[in-house]
Structure 1
Amino acid sequence: MTDDDDFSLFAREMKGVRRIRVDQAETGSRPVDRQNQTLARQRAVQAGTKIKMDGLSDQYVIDVGPEDFLLWGRDGVQDSQLRRLKAGQIAFEGSIDLHGMTVERARSELWAFLAEAVKLEVRCVRVTHGKANRLDGRKPMLKSHVNTWLRQHDRVLGFSSCQPKHGGTGALYVLLKRTMLEGRDESSF
């Protein structure tokens, strides 16, 4: 093959090809409309706030008073475990404070907190809801909602108002169900 053959072969292959005059690539996408993009993001956030957490319903909220002592155990939980919980004898390994949150935000934060505690195989946590002595005479909202939600959560075995040094009737010790890890006996806790 000679140089003339190579040149003519190249010329024949390049027939109809035009030289690119622009030094930017054409991606085929339209320019970004920042205003519409911002509106779409706002709508997505608003839609996400309306989603209820799995199993935590507000259909029926059990009203409780600011100073009411709360104690609840799921069927099958031993009375001795609830007595130990009530006495503060089961150490809590995590804590969340829901003071000042809206009901929706408190639900979301509580759900995420409990999910993390269950994932980490935590046995007991403290949830501070406050007492919220309301000027209008109505019952404390967060305390009532937390009392209702914890009863609905399938990994909550029981709960009790805390000892005064840990928040008294403004907080709860929450006993969580754990999956059995190798070598650990649930009855020793």
Structure 2
Amino acid sequence: MSDQQQPTNFLQAMADVVPIKHDDKVTHIGPSSATLAQSLKRQALEKQLQQDGNYLSVEKVEPLDPYDFLDYKKDGVQEGVHKKLRLGQYQIDEVLNLQMQRIESARHNLFETLMQAHRRGLRTLLIQHGLGLHSKPFPALLKSYVNQWLRQIPEVLAFHTAQKYHGGLAATYVLLKKSEQQRLVNRERHQKR
């Protein structure tokens, strides 16, 4: 077969082929950006969130250094209140030890403890998270999550790295908002004056 016959044969073979019409309703689906395992994990987390009301995120966390100080206060928190918390001068109402716990377990325990403490009218807690020098996939994994989670909880007014005698860089003081019941008691007390 010569080279000149080949194109002719091809054209003859393709003579009855009709171009595909473009349908605007059909969209091209490219490779998925999330793997099946990631999608299933996300679905499981969303289901658990709906069941327990725990809105604390485990998706992404900003890594901290194990020796970083934690320091946060919401707008409106008086500087004197924050200083007293930072210096460890408030009575600690409850201690929560999260050391050596898996992230999901720590997430659940932190959320439940803070919600119960707020309902019971507790104001100051000490969270022991450790330094995480050897944690994987990076150092201070749990400390990084605790820093992120405490910022996500509306009942948390402020938090700060603890004094050395309470655990130093491996622990954090947390100040909670007053419960509605505590506010009512304060209003009645101030009206009697």
Give me the TM-score of the superposition, normalised by structure 1: 0.67
Matched letter for residue 65 of structure 1: D
Matched letter for residue 63 of structure 2: D
> Per-residue CA shift, 1:130-181, capped at 9, x if unaligned?
0010277823111000000000001000100000010001000000001242
Match of 2:87 in 1: 87
2:160 is paired with a residue of what secondary structure? strand
Task: Find the aligned partners of 1:122 and 1:143 in 2 and give their Cα distance.
Answer: 23
1:49, distance to aligned residue in structure 2 (A): 10
- State the identity as a percent: 35
Which of residues 27, 30, 51 in structure 1 aligns to 2:48? 51
Structure 1: where are the runs of 5+ without partners?
1-46
Return closer, same or farther for 1:132/1:80 CA change in 2, 3 Å cut-off: same
- The aligned runs of 1:128-139 (5 Å cut-off) are 128-134=128-134, 138-139=138-139
> Per-residue CA shift, 1:64-85, capped at 9, x if unaligned?
1111111100121112111110
Matched letter for residue 58 of structure 2: D
Instruction: Work out whether 1:183 is the aligned partner of 2:188.
Output: no
Matched letter for residue 109 of structure 1: N
- Is the contact between residue 129 and residue 143 of structure 2 (CA under 8 Å) also seen in structure 1? yes
- Is the contact between residue 162 and residue 172 of structure 1 (CA under 8 Å) also seen in structure 2? yes
Instruction: Work out whether 1:165 is the aligned partner of 2:165.
Output: yes
Aligned length: 140
> Per-residue CA shift, 1:23-71, capped at 9, x if unaligned?
xxxxxxxxxxxxxxxxxxxxxxxx6896245321134412211111111
Task: Find the aligned partners of 2:147 and 2:126 in 1 and give their Cα distance.
Answer: 13
- Is the contact between residue 119 and residue 179 of structure 2 (CA under 8 Å) also seen in structure 1? no
Task: Find the aligned partners of 1:118 and 1:50 in 2 and give their Cα distance.
Answer: 25
The more displaced of 135-144 and 149-158 is 135-144
1:100, distance to aligned residue in structure 2 (A): 0.7
RMSD of the TM alignment (CA)? 2.4
Matched letter for residue 184 of structure 1: N
Structure 2: where are the runs of 5+ without partners?
1-43, 188-193
